[in-house]
């Protein structure tokens, strides 16, 4: 029954507000100095993904593939912290930039969604194809965590044998429930932040694909629900926003996961609700380990001390290293 009752993460007592725990780390955390080697990966559908490699500086057969969150990229502090931590223990790391981030893509009318498991499969098989890595693990945050879980469940029967496990944090497992959180009073403030970037993405894509994107519909988008209804669904081939949320949620695939997988979803995460806390799935699947610390916020996990290792990086190592 892999529900981890006692999490080792304890937030500082004077940062006991979930929103402070969510927002402050992006300002408080030291940005690790990581020098990436960038690769332009030509996708099977004729686009380009930019892959950022960070080698550990020694011969290794271990690789961590990192999936960032919505509107993120490989320079986010949470990605850099993880890269640094795993490089120091002899793992290579590969962090990839999603299509639509303004970094990857641009040749096709596509942007990476929660449902884009085919893209993660391309990246994974490309990394393995060189023949260097025998042990491959995943980590992901928020949307990236959900994408990892969906990939591991949906593709369970044909996963490369090199994949040993995953550790994900603040995973938006239930997109319908998470979408409702963005409609609360506080949630709308977070939504405004994402919408600004998402609508900017649409404007950029419109310049290249003016006949396929109706820019006049920008005024119809007031909420995250609106964005998925007006743009995500029609552009990415879904019937509507609800159809996208259903197909892009990993919650209904968790029982299929066949490699050891850690899900750390804080109880006070302002983006999570409903089946984002899959207790029953963890109780029934011996490969799924669910940890629900009382604090942490959304991808926050405040850790006091400028030089202290960020807790998710510590926890990911603690879980994944024994698997390799």
pLDDT confidence of 182, banded at 50, 70, 90?
very high
Answer yes or no: is pLDDT of 323 > 80. Answer: yes
What pLDDT shows up at residue 267?
96
Q: Which CATH class is domain 3-174+253-319?
A: alpha beta
Model confidence pLDDT, tens digit, residues 38-79: 999 999 999 999 999 999 999 999 999 999 999 999 999 999
Model confidence pLDDT, tens digit, residues 188-234: 999 999 999 999 999 999 999 999 999 999 999 999 999 999 999 99
Would you kindly state where each structural domain of the chain is located, as residue ranges? 3-174+253-319, 177-248
Answer yes or no: is pLDDT of 176 > 80. Answer: yes
pLDDT confidence of 305, banded at 50, 70, 90?
low
Q: What residues contact 315, with CB distance under 8 A and at least 6 apart?
A: 8, 9, 167, 262, 264, 291
Give me the helices (H) in the chain, please.
18-23, 25-28, 77-87, 117-129, 143-154, 175-181, 185-208, 224-227, 233-236, 241-248, 279-284, 311-320
pLDDT confidence of 34, banded at 50, 70, 90?
very high
pLDDT confidence of 304, banded at 50, 70, 90?
confident
Model confidence pLDDT, tens digit, residues 10-33: 888 777 788 888 887 777 667 788
Average pLDDT rounded to a whole number, residues 101-127: 92
Percentage of the chain exceeding pLDDT 90: 85
What pLDDT shows up at residue 307?
58
What is the SS3 assignment for 30? coil
Distance of alpha carbon 186 from alpha carbon 101, whole angstroms:
25
């Amino acid at each position: 029954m892999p529900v981890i009752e006692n999490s080792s993460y304890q937030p500082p007592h004077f940062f006991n507000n979930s929103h402070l725990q969510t927002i402050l780390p992006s300002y408080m955390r030291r940005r690790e100095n990581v020098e990436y080697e960038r690769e332009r990966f030509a996708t099977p559908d004729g686009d380009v993904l930019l892959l950022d490699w960070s080698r550990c500086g020694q011969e290794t057969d271990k690789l961590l593939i990192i999936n960032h969150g919505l509107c993120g990229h490989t320079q986010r502090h949470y990605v850099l912290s993880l890269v640094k931590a795993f490089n120091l223990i002899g793992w290579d790391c590969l962090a990839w930039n999603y299509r639509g981030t303004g970094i990857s893509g641009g040749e096709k009318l596509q942007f990476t969604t929660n449902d884009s498991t085919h893209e993660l499969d391309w990246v994974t098989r490309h990394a393995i194809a060189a023949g260097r890595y025998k042990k491959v693990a995943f980590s992901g945050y928020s949307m990236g965590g959900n994408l990892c879980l969906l990939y591991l469940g949906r593709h369970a029967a044909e996963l490369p044998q090199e994949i040993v496990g995953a550790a994900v944090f603040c995973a938006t497992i239930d997109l319908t429930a998470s979408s409702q959180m963005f409609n609360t009073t506080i949630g709308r403030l977070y939504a405004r932040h994402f919408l600004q970037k998402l609508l900017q993405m649409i404007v950029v894509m419109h310049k290249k694909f003016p006949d396929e994107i109706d820019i006049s519909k920008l005024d119809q988008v007031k909420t995250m629900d609106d964005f998925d209804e007006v743009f995500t669904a029609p552009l990415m081939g879904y019937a509507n926003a609800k159809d996208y949320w259903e197909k892009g949620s990993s919650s209904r695939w968790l029982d299929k996961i066949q490699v050891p997988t850690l899900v750390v979803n804080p109880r006070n995460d302002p983006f999570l609700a409903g089946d984002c806390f899959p207790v029953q799935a963890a109780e029934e699947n011996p490969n799924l380990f669910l940890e629900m610390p009382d604090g942490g916020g959304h991808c926050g996990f405040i850790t006091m001390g400028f030089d202290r290792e960020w807790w998710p990086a510590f926890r990911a190592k603690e879980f994944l290293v024994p698997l390799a």
